[in-house]
Structure 1
Amino acid sequence: MPGSTPSSSRADGIGQEWPGKRLGLPASGPRSIARLGRRIAALFIDWAIAYALAWLLFRGDDGIVEAIYITGVFVVLQIVMITFAAGGIGHLLLGMRVVPLSGGVVGIWRPAVRTVLLALVIPAVVFDRDQRGLHDQLAGTVLVRI
């Protein structure tokens, strides 16, 4: 249509061609946005590891592990792994890592904010055009492929 702007060049990013384009990330390959299926699989791996560790460390006489222990182990494991290895065990096994948008190192505050919000679930299911959950947006991070 005359006078219309092509969707791929719109400044608001609504018609962007791939997730991460407005962040300067490639469409595919290393440093591209990690896609939803890979992220969900990594989350399942990390929760399974947290469950197993909580079961070993905190199970009661009846063999039941309280959800609070599983969540606590998940939070601690994520903060430690992202701080020192740039990703949880599931992330690393599936070829992903957490990086700050501003560059440099992730530090400890970003993994702490990101993980606490992730444990609350809601921020993880609210995401933007670049497929970054609210937990990543508030922490200033992005989950990319290695």
Structure 2
Amino acid sequence: MDNRQALGSWLSGPRAAAEEAGVDFGYRGQQLGLPEEGPGSIARPGRRLGALTVDWALCMLISYGLITHRYTQATGNWAVLILFVMSVLMVGTVGFTPGKRLFGLRVVSARGGRLGVLRVILRSALVCLAIPALIWDRDGRGLHDRFSGAVQVRI
């Protein structure tokens, strides 16, 4: 391997280098038995981030308009609490939040079906912490989804 190949494999990342070596990772969601494309496939990061942005903006608007009436640190704190309550109630009942519905996403159990109440509460708390949602596995699921046994799919 010459220096250009070594540098190129480093720039493209460990996954590309492993694929060049012959490792087959499959597509996102294959290990979970999900389709590669279309309804039921793993939600892409852009859609998930867009849905979270819509949900956060909605929670900030509710906090600002109904509770604090001005922008302060308390507005953000109330928004986190509203996000938690909204996530528990909506994901626990219909499987999505307003942002997820807008972007065509749903939260389901990795084994199929709905998440249980305790799993929804755990997932919602981890989403509010933010860091677990920023660390993904090879299927593109955040730690909040892995720990709660959930997966976000397209509808």
TM-score range, shorter chain: 0.7 to 0.9
**Counterpart amino acid of residue 125 in structure 1:** L
1:45 and 1:96 map into 2 onto residues whose CA distance is: 13
1:73 counterpart = 2:82: yes
Q: Say which of 102, 121, 124 aligns to 2:111.
A: 102
For residue 6 of structure 1, report the CA deviation from its aligned partner.
Answer: 5.0
Q: Which residue of structure 2 aligns with residue 32 of structure 1?
A: 41
Q: State whether structure 2 residue 106 is matched by structure 1 residue 111.
A: no
Bigger share in helix: 2
- Name the CA distance, whole Å, in 2 between partners of 1:104 and 1:24: 14
Distance 2:63 2:45 in 1: 27
Query: Is 1:88 aligned to residue 97 of structure 2?
Result: yes
Partner of residue 23, structure 2 = 7
Q: Tell me the distance in 1 between the aligned counterparts of 2:126 and 2:41.
A: 23
Distance 2:41 2:35 in 1: 5
**Comparing 44-53 and 108-117, the one that deviates more:** 108-117
Matching of residue 50 in structure 1 with residue 51 in structure 2:
no
| Residue 64, structure 1, aligned to residue 80, structure 2 | no
Q: Report whether the alignment pairs 1:130 with 2:130.
A: no
CA RMSD of aligned residues (A): 1.4
Task: Give the fraction of aligned pairs with identical amino acids, expressed as a percent.
Answer: 38
TM-score of the superposed pair, with normalisation by structure 1: 0.86
Look at both structures and tell me which one has the larger radius of gyration over its CA atoms: 2
Rounded to whole Å, the distance in 2 between the matches of 1:47 and 1:97 is: 17
Deviation per CA, 1:44-90, whole angstroms, max 9, x where unpaired? 00001101111122115xx1241210100111011111011101111
| Count of equivalent residues | 133
